[in-house]
């Protein structure tokens, strides 16, 4: 039986593993989190997708892939390594009450009580609404959802949803009862508060903040897949530029699931899903345009604002460097244990520096795990 | 465009030369295609160390170490006088300890007990060691940019040498009174006749563990591995950084010119380190990288003229951070006609002519 | 319920609770940055390294990726 290895147990990875099992493959799925479901589901997989948890899939959680040499051999590899939030530095963004939007949601899903807490959700993109709705359901007082995008764009986008009734319903449900404000973004945070553009100071227990998503391209890149402007290059069957390696799961949940299935299925079944996937890709493009980050966000960081949280490198040290590599070598920016995953996308935005190349280990790992690597 | 001195390469060697020459009033221009201190200089461990494979190596490293100590580097260079602890595994290596002790005036022989007092994380059963207190550790990329702080850098490569200077990759003709090639392994593109070969090395660095390690540690078996010109070797070589991080080396390898990590060799290098320091297995490795040393057949650099108005300073192999300052001083003495502090002959390129 | 020790204080948490959530429940700080600032979790997904704690004597463990297990001893910088 041909074998398929799936890396990542979020919507795309689960869909891919399930689809691959349908084609008769022996399937192994690895994920670094303690539970399946990825960042979005986190162990709480919606009932209509439970079928993806096919008992024929061998699942190993808590396994972090840091080097290519660590991958079990397989006829086909499907990478579904997901996305992370983009954070943009502003004064006070390193304070402990400031978390990612997805970050705070993840903490609540994993046991942080939020009932009665005052939360401001800020940044950009549809994730803000999803997070706000979730937090509210868990009893948080969501004071405001501040979206940096301009009103006109968001309004045009909402109108366009008429053509996608399912989505509209979702958006309406999400929006229900939330104070949503466009043209607003965090200017600075101080202990116990945030100052928002156009709104002034808001006292809060948490500021949950994210500026869109960045694809985790480290593993694809490590395996030699071509990555261009932050996206893994794939063909219609989700094949990367490396034979036998597929990539699925850029963008929204719906798209991720479709991409996962297309990667997992045989060609014939996959083809049937192309139109739906292509529509999802178009929808994601619309989202990208709507929630494009405005240039004012590039002026939030002051000279003292820390850009690299691992090494505490202030913006003043970084901005005079010629490029990412000089910044790393001369200021230690990006040289800490997050390996530039937080400051890299921020600097891509602030200074226009493209991401640097990757080397194993792509995550910090105990030295013991590197003792038996093979070619 | 004209300049008195044109320097190719903004590694530690080119930077040291620029700093030395600028002080004597010459107009210098440095050209560098990538970033300051981004070549071998970024890859190396930054161990400023006296080595004695040959009398000439001893002379150059000792002289250079003195120059480093006299250099008022800023805090960004992270200089620390950690000292080198040469670790002897057995009686044979203790004999080497005794021999080195005679050569290094301030060094101190450690017996087994003293060794563990100095470095409690070493595995039991080692014979002893030699502590050389004067050796230090620097962070070379910031040292290079500090040395270059007053010299203009033009971000392009030297494309080819011309009778009165060089043609730059951006199309500029530079006429120079003197051209100095300090472009590390890149030099063979300009002067293919030089006997310089890239010798690849791997390194790994951990997260911060302050206090885990106190000295720069090097196994004495190092000598066998570094100077046997076998194709691939590894040695136990660990260094405490001022951040509390542990830098772990090292490997040496000919014939592999790809900058990619060779997983098997990386593992071998780390296993060697663990043989000496078992608890390293628990530390988090946050990064690995490779670099290329510019190696010569006799393990000594090429410092001096190769043709009319063209000098070189390259081939420093695994010691170029240390010997950069000595190399620059020898060239400056030559320029000024001064008597150098150490005899320059062993390093003259003409020895291979 | 699962009992863990955080900076010597005992806390009982539901199964499925991460160490990061447990630390936040106690309102203990997480780590001190290299210049001494107090930091806490940012990404919640094992990427930012801001939630690192010392777990059973091992420093630099990402608390958001670890589930509480009986008897764990966790210490933080603050
Ligand atoms: C793994 C490893 C560990 C090491 N550890 C130590 C140590 O502990 N102690 C020590 O003393 N030494 C150590 N070294 C050696 C040391 O790093 C080198 O000897 C030293 O950095 C050489 O400096 P350089 O300026 O000659 O070369 P480089 O730093 O390589 O600089 C050469 C520069 O020239 C530029 N260049 C190339 N071609 C051209 C061109 N045509 N025109 C213009 N510019 C050009 C390059 O871009 C580069 O920036 C180590 C080396 C390695 C690889
Ligand atoms: S919160 Fe980012 S790694 Fe744990």
CATH of domain A3-84+214-287: 3.50.50.60
Integer CA distances (angstroms), B5 to A163, B14, B19, B165, in order: 69, 11, 12, 9
Among residues B246, B269, B295, which one ends one of the domains?
Answer: B295
Mean pLDDT of B113-119: 98
The CA B32 to ligand 1 mean position distance, Å, reads 12
CA of B13 to the centre of ligand 1 (A): 7
Q: Which residues in chain A have their CB less than 8 angstroms from residue C24's CB?
A: 107, 112
Ligand nearest to the CA of A106: 2
Q: How far away is chain A from the Cα of B38, in angstroms, using its nearest Cα?
A: 7
pTM, entire model: 0.95
C-beta atoms of C34 and B207 within 8 A: no
Give the mutation candidate from B12, B264, B286, B289 for the A interface (greatest A CB count, under 10 A): B286
Q: Which ligand is nearest to the CA of A310?
A: 2
CATH number, position B278: 3.30.9.10
Q: Is residue B74 part of a domain?
A: no
Cα of A191 vs centre of ligand 2, distance in Å, is 20
The average confidence (pLDDT) of chain B is 95
Highest CATH level, class, for C2-75: alpha beta
With contacts defined as CB-CB under 8 Å, which chain A residues touch B244?
none
Mean pLDDT of B212-232: 79
Q: What is the mean pLDDT of residues B139-167?
A: 97
List chains touching A (3+ CB pairs under 8 A): B, C
Rg, C-alpha atoms of chain B: 20
Average pLDDT of the segment spanning B197-207:
97
Ligand 2 atom, smallest distance to A106 CA: 1
Same domain, B291 and B147: no
Q: Which helix (H) or strand (E) holds A233?
A: none
Q: Considering the domain boundaries, does residue B63 fall inside one?
A: no
Pseudo-torsion of CA B292, B296, B297, B303, nearest 10°? -170
Domain for residue B70, yes or no?
no
Same-domain pairing of B213 and B291:
yes
Residue A110 to residues A132, C1, C19, Cα–Cα distance (Å): 17, 14, 9
Q: What is the pLDDT of residue A46?
A: 87
Q: Where are the domains of chain C?
A: 2-75
- Phi, psi values for residue B269, rounded to 5°: -65, -45
Q: Is B28 in the pocket of ligand 1 (CB under 6 A)?
A: no
**Based on the domain organization, do B305 and B235 belong to the same domain?**
no
- Determine the atom of ligand 1 nearest the C-alpha atom of B250: 1
Q: Is the pLDDT of residue B301 over 90?
A: yes
Mean pLDDT of B57-62: 98
* Ligand having the closest approach to the CA of B293: 1
Domain residue ranges of chain A, discontinuous segments joined by +: 3-84+214-287, 98-211, 301-375
At C30, the pLDDT band (50, 70, 90 cuts) reads very high
- CB C71, CB C50: distance < 8 Å: no
The verdict on the CB of residue C43 being under 6 Å from ligand 2 is: yes
Domain boundary among B295, B316, B335: B295
For residues B253-282, average pLDDT:
96
Q: Are B247 and B273 found together in one domain? A: yes
In chain B, the number of structural domains is 2
Give me the domain span that covers residue B222.
82-135+197-295
- CA angle, B13 then B227 then B107, to 5°: 75
User: Which chains neighbour C (Cβ–Cβ under 8 Å, 3 or more pairs)?
Assistant: A, B
The segments of chain A whose pLDDT lies below 70 read: 43, 162-176
pLDDT at B344 over 70: yes
- Residue A167: its pLDDT value, please? 58
**pLDDT at residue C19 greater than cutoff 70:** yes
**Which ligand is closest to the CA of A87, given by its number?**
2
Q: Hey, of C30, C45, C56, which one would you mutate to test binding to chain A, going by the most A CBs within 10 A of its CB?
A: C45
SS3 content of chain C, % helix, strand, coil (to 5): 15, 35, 50
* Predicted ipTM of the assembly: 0.97
Q: Judge if the beta carbon of residue C48 lies within 6 A of ligand 2.
A: yes
Please report, rounded to a whole number, the percentage of residues in chain B having pLDDT higher than 90.
Answer: 95
- Residues B136 and B79: beta-carbon distance below 8 Å: yes
Residue of C nearest to B207 (CA): C60
Of the partner residues B264, B282, B284, the one whose CB lies closest to the CB of residue A373? B264
CA distances from A50 to A15, A55, B101 (A): 10, 11, 71
Q: What is the mean pLDDT of chain A?
A: 92
Residue B318 CB–ligand 1 contact under 6 Å: yes
The atom number, within ligand 1, closest to the CA of B320 reads: 19
Residue of A96, A218, A340 to mutate when probing chain C, most C C-beta within 10 A? A96
Report which protein residue has its CA nearest ligand 1's atom 44: B9
pLDDT at A235: 97
Q: What gap in Å lies between CA C59 and CA B335, rounded to an integer?
A: 54
- Specify the 3-state DSSP secondary structure of B11: coil
Going from the Cα of B278 to the center of ligand 2, the distance in angstroms, rounded, reads 29
B201 and B265 fall within a common domain:
yes
Q: Are residues B213 and B259 in the same domain?
A: yes
Query: B314 near B292, Cβ under 8 Å?
Result: no
Q: How many CA atoms lie within 13 A of A157 on its CB side?
A: 23
Domain membership of residue B64 (yes or no) is no
Distances (CA, A) of A103 to A39, A40, A129, A358: 9, 10, 14, 24
B15-59 confidence digits (pLDDT tens) = 999 999 987 768 999 999 999 999 999 999 999 999 999 999 999
* Third-level CATH fold of A98-211: FAD/NAD(P)-binding domain (3.50.50)
How confident is the model at residue B231, as a pLDDT?
A: 82
Write the pLDDT tens digit of every residue in A271-286. 999 999 999 999 999 9
Spatial contact of B155 and B307, defined as CB atoms under 8 Å apart: no
What distances in angstroms separate CA A330 from CA A174, A203, B141, B286, one per listed residue?
A: 46, 38, 6, 18
Count the residues in chain A. Answer: 375
Number of other residues whose CB lies within 10 A of the CB of residue B45:
26
Residue numbers in C near B243 (CB within 8 A): 34
The finding on whether C28 has its CB within 6 A of some atom of ligand 2 is: no
- Do B243 and B266 belong together in one domain? yes
CB of residue B156 inside a 6 A radius of ligand 1 = no
- Give the CA distances from residue C36 to residues A94, A304, A375, B304, C77, in Å, rounded to whole numbers and listed in that order: 12, 15, 41, 49, 10
B10 touches ligand 1 (CB under 6 Å):
yes
Query: CB contact, 8 Å: A357 with chain B?
Result: no
Mean local confidence (pLDDT), B289-294: 98
Task: Give yes or no for a contact between C65 and C46, defined as CB atoms under 8 angstroms apart.
Answer: yes
Looking at the complex, report in whole angstroms how far the Cα of residue B219 sits from the nearest Cα belonging to chain A.
Answer: 19
**Can you give the pLDDT at residue B224?**
62
């Amino acid at each position: 039986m041909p074998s398929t290895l799936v890396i990542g147990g979020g919507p795309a990875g689960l869909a891919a593993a399930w689809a691959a099992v349908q084609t008769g493959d022996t399937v192994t799925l690895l994920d670094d989190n303690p539970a399946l479901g990825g960042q979005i589901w986190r162990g709480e997989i919606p009932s209509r997708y439970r079928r993806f948890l096919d008992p024929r899939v061998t699942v190993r959680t808590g396994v972090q892939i840091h080097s290519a040499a660590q991958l079990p051999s397989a006829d086909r590899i499907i990478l579904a390594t997901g996305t992370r939030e983009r954070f943009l530095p502003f004064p006070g963004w390193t304070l402990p009450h400031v978390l990612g939007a997805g970050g705070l949601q993840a903490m609540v899903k994993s046991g942080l009580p939020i009932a009665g807490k005052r939360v401001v959700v800020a940044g950009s993109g549809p994730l803000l609404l999803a997070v706000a709705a979730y937090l509210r359901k868990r009893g948080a007082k969501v004071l405001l959802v501040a979206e940096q995008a301009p009103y006109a764009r968001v309004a045009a986008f909402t109108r366009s949803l008429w053509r996608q009734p399912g989505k509209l319903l979702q958006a309406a449900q999400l929006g229900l009862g939330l104070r949503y404000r466009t043209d607003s973004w965090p200017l600075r945070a101080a202990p116990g508060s945030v100052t928002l553009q156009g709104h002034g100071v808001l006292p809060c227990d948490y500021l949950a903040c994210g500026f869109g998503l960045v694809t985790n391209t480290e593993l694809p890149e490590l395996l030699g897949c071509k990555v261009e402007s932050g996206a893994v290059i794939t063909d219609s069957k989700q094949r990367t530029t490396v034979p036998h390696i597929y990539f699925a799961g850029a963008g929204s949940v719906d798209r991720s699931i479709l991409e996962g299935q297309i990667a997992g299925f045989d060609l014939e079944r996959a083809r049937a899903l192309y139109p739906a996937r292509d529509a999802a890709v178009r929808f994601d493009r619309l989202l990208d345009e709507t929630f494009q980050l405005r240039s004012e966000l590039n002026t939030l960081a002051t000279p003292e604002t820390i850009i690299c949280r691992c090494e505490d490198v202030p913006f003043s040290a970084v901005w005079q460097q010629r490029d990412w590599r000089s910044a790393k070598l001369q200021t230690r920016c990006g040289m800490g244990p997050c390996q530039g995953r937080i400051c890299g996308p921020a600097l891509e935005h602030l200074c226009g520096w493209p991401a640097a190349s990757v080397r194993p280990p792509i995550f910090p790992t105990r030295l013991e795990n590197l003792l038996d690597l093979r070619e | 465009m004209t300049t008195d001195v044109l320097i190719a390469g903004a590694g530690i060697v080119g930077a040291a030369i620029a700093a030395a020459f600028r002080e004597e009033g010459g107009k210098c221009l440095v050209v560098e295609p990538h970033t300051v201190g981004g070549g071998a200089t970024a890859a190396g461990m930054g161990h400023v160390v006296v080595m004695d494979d040959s009398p000439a190596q001893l002379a150059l490293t000792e002289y250079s170490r003195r120059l480093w100590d006299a250099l008022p580097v800023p805090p960004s260079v992270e200089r620390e006088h950690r000292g080198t602890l040469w670790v002897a595994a057995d009686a044979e290596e203790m004999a080497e300890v005794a021999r080195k002790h005679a050569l290094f005036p301030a060094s101190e022989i450690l017996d087994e007990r003293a060794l563990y007092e100095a470095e409690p994380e070493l595995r039991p059963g080692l014979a002893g060691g030699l502590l050389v207190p004067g050796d230090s550790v620097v962070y070379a990329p910031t040292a290079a940019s500090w040395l270059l702080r007053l010299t203009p850098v033009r971000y392009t490569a030297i494309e080819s040498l011309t009778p009165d200077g060089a043609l730059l990759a951006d199309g500029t003709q530079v006429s120079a009174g003197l051209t100095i090639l300090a472009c590390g392994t890149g030099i063979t593109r300009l002067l293919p006749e030089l006997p310089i070969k890239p010798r690849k090395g791997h390194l790994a660095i951990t997260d911060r563990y302050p206090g885990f390690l106190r000295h720069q540690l090097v196994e004495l078996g190092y000598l066998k591995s570094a100077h046997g010109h076998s194709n691939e070797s590894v040695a136990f070589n660990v260094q405490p950084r001022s951040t509390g991080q542990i830098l772990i080396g090292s490997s040496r390898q000919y014939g592999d010119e790809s900058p990619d990590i060779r997983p098997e060799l990386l593992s071998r290098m780390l296993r060697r380190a663990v043989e000496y320091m078992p608890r390293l297995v628990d530390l988090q490795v946050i990064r690995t990288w490779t670099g290329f040393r510019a190696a010569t057949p006799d393990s000594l650099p090429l410092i001096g003229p190769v043709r009319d108005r063209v000098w070189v300073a390259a081939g420093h192999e695994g010691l170029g951070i240390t010997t950069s300052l000595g190399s620059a001083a020898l060239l400056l003495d030559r320029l000024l006609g001064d008597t150098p502090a150490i005899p320059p002959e062993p390093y003259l390129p003409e020895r291979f002519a | 319920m699962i009992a863990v020790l955080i900076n010597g204080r005992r806390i009982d948490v539901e199964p499925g609770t991460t160490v990061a959530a447990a630390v936040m429940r106690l309102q203990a700080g997480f780590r001190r940055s290299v210049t001494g600032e107090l930091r806490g979790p940012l990404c919640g997904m094992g990427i930012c390294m801001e939630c690192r704690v010392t777990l059973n004597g091992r420093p630099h463990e990402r608390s958001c990726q670890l589930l509480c297990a009986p008897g764990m001893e966790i210490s933080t910088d603050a």
